[in-house]
Amino acid sequence: MKKMWIGFIIVSMSVVITACGNKESNVEQDDSVIRVGSVGADADIWRFIANSEAAEKADLEIEVEDIEDGVAKNTATADEDIDANAFQTIGYLESFNEDSAEKLVPLATTYVEPVGIYSDKYDNLDEVEDHAVVAIADNPADGARQLRVLEKADLIELDADFDDGVGTTDDISANPKNLEFELIDDWTGPRILQDVDMALIGNTIALEGGLNVLNDAIYREKADESNRINLNVIAVKEDRQDEEQLKKLGKLYHDPEIQEYIDEEFDGTKVEADLSLSDVWDD
């Protein structure tokens, strides 16, 4: 009986040791996978990237995790539950860092979804008349961004201390054409074009309304340093930005195979922004 118990103990210990060995092997296998947190259209893009020939050539195994909330995606990245995320603009990332003990940094810029100025009345900005009625979003973040677009279009000037997160029409310092502003639910933008002289509309809403910012807008945001806060980025934890496997993600996003898919899938409206981080990010 004693021998039987000894045999049972030996077998049990062998099972435990084998199980531990398998667990360590699984951890190593999981660590070789880059986990990217995203959502919606961006998640669809990264699923395509994960299954692309370009990813295979780069020797990257990517797993996409859908995480709805933006703060949750950033927190998961800071906690290393995921390795990187792809959903946010530089402006959003800077705002998160201000309120967080952990710092995330951009690994690479990816694209801009431009806000456009649309009009059924004018074909170009030179035609804009005095007292033209301009529709802008009634929510602070989008409204402020749209006012900045009007400034870049040389239609207005904003106060030097204009807040790009919550600025309003009260912060207009010069309005040479005496533009009149109508605040709207931004989702109604495409439907109310016939009722105003111009409307500023974000890309997602424009597409839903059958508008293409590249073809239908009389003016649109640029995908360059002048529009830095609206550049979308891949973000990682600060102390991981030099990891070689993670750095490959930025190059992979801009691979011609990937860009061809994105252009076709989104009618060119996710405008590629492949910029040097030194030009758009302050360390």
Which 3 state secondary structure label does DSSP give 166?
coil
Query: What is the C-alpha separation between 77 and 262, in angstroms, rounded?
Result: 25
Question: Hey, where are the domains in the chain?
Answer: 32-112+226-280, 116-221
- Check if the beta carbon of residue 108 is closer than 8 Å to that of residue 258: no
Q: Is residue 263 pLDDT above 60, yes or no?
A: yes
Instruction: Give the pLDDT score at 277.
Output: 96
Q: Do domains 32-112+226-280 and 116-221 have the same CATH topology?
A: yes
pLDDT digits (tens, 9 = 90+) for 124-146: 999 999 999 999 999 998 999 99
The pair of structure tokens assigned to 246 is 């993670």
Q: Is residue 24 pLDDT above 90, yes or no?
A: no
Query: What is the C-alpha separation between 204 and 116, in angstroms, rounded?
Result: 11
CATH fold for the domain made of 32-112+226-280: D-Maltodextrin-Binding Protein; domain 2 (3.40.190)
Question: Average of pLDDT values for 147-161?
Answer: 98
On average, the pLDDT of the chain sits at: 90
Query: What is the C-alpha separation between 239 and 257, in angstroms, rounded?
Result: 30
Write phi, then psi, for 206 (nearest 5 degrees): -60, -45
pLDDT digits (tens, 9 = 90+) for 106-129: 999 999 999 999 999 999 999 999
pLDDT digits (tens, 9 = 90+) for 161-177: 999 989 999 999 999 99
Q: Is residue 91 pLDDT above 50, yes or no?
A: yes
Instruction: Give the pLDDT score at 165.
Output: 87
Query: What is the C-alpha separation between 7 and 198, in angstroms, rounded?
Result: 84
CATH fold for the domain made of 116-221: D-Maltodextrin-Binding Protein; domain 2 (3.40.190)
Residues contacting 26, CB < 8 A, separation 6+? none
Question: Average of pLDDT values for 75-89?
Answer: 97
Q: Which of 164, 145, 149, 144 is nearest to 221 (CA)?
A: 149
